[in-house]
Amino acid sequence: KAGVTQTPRYLIKTRGQQVTLSCSPISGHRSVSWYQQTPGQGLQFLFEYFSETQRNKGNFPGRFSGRQFSNSRSEMNVSTLELGDSALYLCASSHGHTQYFGPGTRLTVL
Amino acid sequence: TQLLEQSPQFLSIQEGENLTVYCNSSSVFSSLQWYRQEPGEGPVLLVTVVTGGEVKKLKRLTFQFGDARKDSSLHITAAQPGDTGLYLCAGAKGNQGGKLIFGQGTELSVKP
């Protein structure tokens, strides 16, 4: 089976812009979770989608949003970008207890 | 509040040495996973443990889940330079398998 894929791999934006990141889960996985990884805070949970519904949400401002499509592919959107949003954004799909991560999208906000 | 305390944060050892990484919490987890991450890449799953007291072995790596399901350890025997990387423990609570709580990570460097 193909693994979790994320596009794009790298992105450079300026403050105030918005960005959309995409994630395709492993075939058959219905749950997709998003995480933000920074050197200072480590890996932090953003949200989880299951069957097109948000099932869990982390402690991030409303500028961070997501959605899931009927084919389980997911997108996350960050509006009004801030410098502190620079991070590696990771998507994971899960089956049972275990999550499998994609390679991530490196977002740099200038 | 960091729910999962991982130690040590940094470890630099010589090839052939043994090491143990610890992951501790005051909370009970329904499952705990260990990952290894290379720079600029996503975490790669090493193991999932779900039963208190469970021990799993993966070649030179031994994983243990505490009896009370609040802590875990990763032991590497005869470390090799290829073991270098960031090791992360992550726990899931109840039926929230899609929401992992991560430890801070252990940066391991194995010198030849």
With an 8 Å Cβ cutoff, is A90 touching chain B? yes
State whether A97 and B102 contact (CB < 8 Å). Answer: no
Q: Could A99 and B101 be called an inter-chain contact, meaning their C-beta atoms sit closer than 8 Å?
A: no
Residues of A in contact with B92 (CB under 8 A): 97
Closest CA to B77 of B58, B61, B63: B61
Span B26-38, pLDDT tens digits:
999 999 999 999 9
Cβ distance B88 to A4 less than 8 Å, yes or no, reads no
Task: Give the residue among A44, A26, A27 at the shortest CA–CA distance from A35.
Answer: A44
Nearest CA in chain B to A10: B40
Strand partners, B106: B87
Q: Which of helix, strand or coil describes residue A13?
A: strand
| Peptide bond preceding B8 in cis form (omega within 30 of 0) | yes
Pairing of strands B31-37, B85-92: antiparallel
Confidence of residue A110 (pLDDT cuts 50, 70, 90): very high
DSSP state of A9: S
pLDDT tens-place string over residues B41-72:
999 999 999 999 999 999 999 999 999 999 99
Instruction: Please name the residues in contact with A61: beta carbons below 8 A apart, sequence gap of 6 or more.
Output: none
Identity of residue B86: L
